[in-house]
Chain A
Amino acid sequence: MADLHFLANPARFRRFSQRVLPGLVFATVLSFAVGLYLALMHSPPDYQQGETVRIMFVHVPSAWLSMAGYALLAALGASLLVWRHPLAALMARATAPVGACFALVCLLTGSLWGRPMWGTYWVWDARLTSMLLLFFLYLGHIALSRAYDDPDRGDRAAAILALVGIINLPIIKFSVDWWNTLHQPASIMRLDAPAIHPAILMPLLWMAGSFLLLFITLVLVRTETEIDRRRLEMADQLS
C-alpha cells in the first residue's frame, strides 16, 4: 500500500493512468478476444447444462468482480477517512457504478441461465438474494455520494457507508443463507455440486482475467473523468 501512496496525488495519478491506459485497453481487447473464443467456441458444452453453461463464463466473473468491487470501495473509503486521500474519493465515485453494473450483469445473466435450467427466471435462492442485496448496497452508495451539493460531504458519507456495508455483508450473507435453508428444501440443482472440469475451468479463469482487466480499465477511465469533472467544477467556481 505504501508504494501506492505516490498515486494519491490526482495530477500524478492522471499522468500515470494516461501512460498505462493504452496498453491496458489493448490487453483487455486481446484478452477478451482469446477468452470469448475459448468460452464460446473452444470449450465443450456441459453434459447436463448443454450450451447454456456458456452463460457462466460471463456470470461467474461478474459475480466475483462485483464482490471484489465492494471490497475496493471499502478500502477506498478507509483511505479517504484515514489519510484523506483526495484521489480515493474520486476513485470510489468511479468504482461504485462499475461494481453495480457487474452485480446487475451477474443478476441478469443468472436469471437468463435460470430460465432453461431451473425453469424460472428468479428463485429466492440464498445466493441470488445476497447478490441482490449487494446490488442495493451499491445503489445506496451511488445515491448517497451524489446526494449533496458539496461533493466532499457526499464522498465522506459514502465512505462511512462502504465501511459499514463491508462489516455487514458477511452478516447479511449468513442470515440469507440461513433464511433460505429454513424456508425451502435444497431441491434446485446447484452449479457447484460436481467439481468443474478443466475444459470448462480454463476458459472461466481466462474470462475472469479479462473481466478483471475490463474492470481496471473502466475504473481508471472513470477516475480520470472524475478528476477532470472536479477540475472543471473548481474552475467554474473560481471564475
Chain B
Amino acid sequence: MTGFLALLSRDLRLAWRRPGDVAVVLAFFVVATVLFPLGIGPQANILARIAAGVLWCTALFASMLSLDRLFAADYEDGSLDLLLLAPWPLELAALAKCAAHWIVTGLPLAVLAPLLGVTFGLPPEALLALAATLLVGTPTLSLIGGLAASLTLGARRGGALLALLALPLCVPTLIFGAAAIETLMTGEDLLAHIAILAALALVALATTPWAMAAALRQAGE
C-alpha cells in the first residue's frame, strides 16, 4: 500500500509540475465539444437533445488522448524496469498509474463538463446528472485506456492503435453514461444507471490490473 501511495503521489507531483499536459487535454475537450454546435447549428432543442452524448464522446476522446504517455515515459527512462523489480505487486503499480490518470483527467473533465453543458442549454438537474455520471464512469475509461496503453507500449503508431483497442471496450460505459442523462426527460430512475456505471467500473477495477500487469511484464522482457 505504501508503494501504491508513493507511486500515486509521484505521478500527481509530475503532473503538478507540468500543468501544461493536463491543460492541453482539457483544452482539447472544450474545443472538440464547441465544434459540435458549430457543425450542427445553434438550434437550442437539438443541442439540448444531443448534449449528453456529445459531452460523453468528447470526454472519452480526451481521456484517450492523454493515455499514450501513461506508461511510455516510465518505459523510456527505465522507471518501469524498477517497478517490475519492486517487491510489491505490479498490479498495484498499474492501478496507481490509472488512479493518477483519473485524478488528473477524469476528475477535471467531470467538473468541466457541466460548464459546457450550460452552453448546450441543459437544465440544472441534467448538469448535475452529467457530472455524477462522468464521476462514476471516467474511472472505467482510465482503466480500459490504461490497459490499451500497456498493450501498445513500444508499438509502432501507438496512439491511434490505443484508441482502436480501447474505444470498442468503452462502449458499455458510453451507452449507460449518456443514457443516464436522458432518464431525466423520460422519468426513469437515474440511480439505476449510475449503479450500472459503478458496476462497470468495479468490473474494470477487478479485471484490468491483472491484464495491465501481464502486458507490462512483457514490455519489460
Are A and B a genuine interacting pair, yes or no?
Answer: yes
Contacts from A to B (Cβ < 8 Å): 81, 133, 136-137, 139-140, 143-144, 147-149, 153-154, 156-157, 160-161, 163-165, 167-168, 171-172, 174-176, 178-179, 182
- CB closest chain-B residue, reference A163: B211
Interface of B is mostly: helix
Distance between Cα atoms of A161 and B219 in the complex (Å): 14
CB within 8 Å of A: which of B200-221?
A: 200, 203, 207-208, 211, 214-215, 218-219, 221
| CB-CB contacts below 8 Å: B176-221 with A | 176, 179, 182, 200, 203, 207-208, 211, 214-215, 218-219, 221
7 contacts between A and B (CB under 8 A): A136-B164, A136-B167, A143-B164, A147-B155, A147-B158, A153-B218, A172-B172
Residues on the B chain within 8 Å of A139, using CB = 164
**CB-CB under 8 A for A148 and B155, given A140-B164, A182-B179:** yes
Is B168 an interface residue, CB under 8 A from the partner? yes
Residues in chain A near residue B172, CB distance under 8 A: 168, 171-172, 174-175
Q: Is the CB of A144 within 8 A of B168?
A: no
Contact check, B200 vs A172: say whether CB atoms are below 8 A apart: no
Closest residue on chain B to residue A148 by CB atoms: B155
CA distance A15 to B165 in the complex (A): 36
A167 cross-chain contacts in B, Cβ below 8 A = 207
Residues of B with C-beta under 8 A to A137: 168
Quote the shortest CB–CB distance from A156 to chain B (angstroms).
Answer: 5
Residue of B at shortest CB range from A137? B168
Nearest residue in A to B174 (C-beta to C-beta)? A175
Minimum CB–CB distance for B91 against chain A, Å: 13
B161 touches A172 (CB 8 A): no
Residues of B within 8 A of A (CB): 147, 151-152, 154-158, 161, 164-165, 167-169, 171-172, 175-176, 179, 182, 200, 203, 207-208, 211, 214-215, 218-219, 221
Q: Which of B154, B155, B165, B214 has the most CB of A within 10 A?
A: B165
Docked CA distance A136–B166 (Å): 10
Q: Nearest residue in B to A168 (C-beta to C-beta)?
A: B169
B175 adjacent to A176 (CB under 8 Å): yes
Q: How far is the CB of A166 from chain B (nearest CB, A)?
A: 11
B72 to chain A, nearest CB (A): 14
B147 / chain A contacts, CB cutoff of 8 Å? 164
Given A171-B172, A175-B172, are A161 and B156 also a contact pair (CB < 8 Å)? no
CB neighbours (8 Å) of B165 from chain A are 140, 143-144, 161
Contacting pair B151 A144 (CB below 8 A): yes
Q: B152: which of A147, A149, A171 is its contact (CB, 8 Å)?
A: A147
Question: Is the CB–CB distance between A160 and B214 below 8 Å?
Answer: yes
B179 and A133 contact, CB distance less than 8 A: no
Q: Is the CB of B171 within 8 A of A157?
A: no
Nearest-neighbor residue (CB-CB) of B199 within chain A: A171
CA of A154 to CA of B67 in the docked complex: distance in angstroms? 19
CB distance from B214 to the nearest CB of A (A): 6
Flag if B168 contacts A136 (CB, 8 Å).
yes
**What separation, in Å, do the CA atoms of A231 and B151 have in the docked complex?**
26
Cβ contacts under 8 Å, A147 to chain B: 152, 155-158, 161
Q: How far does the alpha carbon of A153 sit from the alpha carbon of B211 in the complex, in Å?
A: 14
Q: A144-B151, A160-B211 are in contact. Are A175 and B171 (CB under 8 A)?
A: yes
Chain B residues, CB < 8 A from A144: 151-152, 155, 161, 165
Give the contacting residue for B175; candidates A164, A168, A179; CB below 8 A.
Answer: A179
Shortest Cβ-Cβ A-B pairs, 4 listed: A175-B172, A147-B155, A136-B168, A179-B175
Hey, which chain B residues are within 8 Å of A161, CB to CB? 151, 165
The reply to whether B171 and A164 contact each other, CB–CB distance below 8 Å, is no
Residue of B nearest to A147 (CB): B155
Indicate if the CB atoms of B171 and A172 lie closer than 8 Å: yes
Task: Report the separation of the CA atoms of residues A143 and B156 in the bound assembly, to the nearest whole angstrom.
Answer: 10
| Contact of A165 with B169 in the complex, beta carbons under 8 Å | yes
Please report the C-alpha to C-alpha distance between residue A147 and residue B159 in the assembled complex, in whole angstroms: 11
With A167-B207, A176-B175, A179-B175 known as contacts, the answer to whether A153 contacts B154 (CB < 8 A) is yes
Docked-complex contact B169 and A148, CB < 8 angstroms: no
Given A144-B161, A148-B154, A160-B214, residue A133 in contact with residue B168 (CB < 8 A) = yes
Contact of B179 among A136, A156, A171, A179 (CB under 8 A): A179
Is B218 in contact with A157, judged by CB distance below 8 angstroms? yes
Decide: A81 and B214 in contact? CB cutoff 8 A. Answer: yes
